[in-house]
Chain A
């Protein structure tokens, strides 16, 4: 019952509104990217791609070797050294939205020769990429700096109007 709900929710919410076409990605980067993977507990994030392009400059910083620039990681350069533009540029093209689903695990388990077995899922890739850079550059790193919590999210975190009444038991015995 619950699963029947969760799976479509995950699939439905893991949608990148812009930048889906590899052709488009290669030519015209989207100005705005709507990230609504966590739409149950958090409002979608409108990611200002354009200003990040201006700020960072180097597409490889986020897109690794797929945008025609060399990767920053010498490890990657051992294979991805052609400098060719990748066919797949969008995050979700490589970072699976459902990295731990039975299907995805089956695919990766069966493909024993696959090199990138330990690839982050989409959500992990976003957060690790964004917060990694934000920490270094002084950008926002708090959860609520980027995400607005929905009512369901407040209920989940027992925050907002769901904050528990303070008790003197909090410090333990």
Chain B
């Protein structure tokens, strides 16, 4: 009789050991939280006040990334009047990794144009949510991805606080995530700025080391406090982003989500990730213990083997 109980116990112990082995992999999540981006990470400072809405950046992106032809010419300003569901403005999709939208904030006489693309977070939510680890944050600061292993779960799209990753829903055989990759393959890794930065006639975008861009941005605010909202969007939002923004009008009036926390997205998930190894470690012993307690009486009645059941309990503790 005792042998049977022991076997049960051993089975549970094995389950526990296996579970603990499984738990080891979750520890990576904690390491990533301490990261503050790569020290030499590059970035782009976008000064919305300078943008005139010429959409050259959209055109350059289209050419650089070999994207399909747009529905309208890139010099057609009528796209600024397009609205979608519930007044949504244009957004990035599988055919456009960057789009410029027009806003009319109350604080300025002129419309404000805002270019959006992947912000290349220091701690990308897309990267941490990807179960095949398709995303990489390069030392240059770009968040790139490997379309060859993308399963298409679209969890990164759920996770991205900026709604940037798009999906090629139209493809039946090879749909993958599509987003701005900071022109990593063709430019960034070769020491060149992204195509949109290079083409911009107004130098709305300043390309440089992220650390220096932060200094430059604050100097601009200091030098022209009348021209800028005193905030560098992306310096701290969701743990900091490589692309950062200065605006002449309140950020929420020019298409930014200002309710964002400074904590990276992954910190919201930490509470759960922390419980995983605990459940894996505690549950086997706890429920085996429950089992032994709950069934001990039967064992005694059935087999009259008080001693063995007692021994099992001792082992458990």
Contacts and interface: CB of A to CB of B under 8 A. Distances in A.
A136 interface: no
B79 to A, nearest CB: 9
Contacts of A163: 73
23 contacts: A3-B187, A100-B206, A100-B208, A102-B192, A105-B208, A105-B209, A109-B208, A118-B219, A118-B220, A121-B203, A123-B201, A123-B203, A125-B203, A127-B201, A131-B52, A131-B202, A156-B59, A156-B63, A158-B73, A164-B73, A169-B71, A170-B72, A172-B82
B73 A6 contact: no
Chain A residues touching B, range: 35 or more
Contact of A159 (B63, B75, B84, B202): B75
A123 B203 CA distance: 8
A158 B73 CA distance: 5
Interface centre among B56, B60, B203 (most CB of A within 10 A): B203
Given A157-B59, A159-B73, A164-B70, A172 B84 contact: yes
Interface string A136-161: 00000101100000000000111100
A83 interface: no
Contacts of B62: 158
Contacts of B239: none
B69 A164 contact: yes
Nearest to A3: B190
Interface string A109-127: 1000000011011011101
Given A118-B206, A158-B59, A172-B82, A143 B74 contact: no
B216 to A, nearest CB: 5
Chain B residues touching A, range: 35 or more
Interface string B183-205: 00011001111000110111100
Interface of A: 2-3, 6, 75, 99-102, 105, 108-109, 117-118, 120-121, 123-125, 127-128, 131, 141, 143-144, 156-159, 162-164, 167, 169-173
B74 A159 contact: yes
B36 interface: no
A101 B191 contact: yes
A159 B55 CA distance: 13
B6 interface: no
Among all A-B residue pairs, the 8 with the closest Cβ atoms = A124-B203, A102-B191, A100-B193, A100-B207, A159-B73, A127-B201, A157-B74, A170-B71
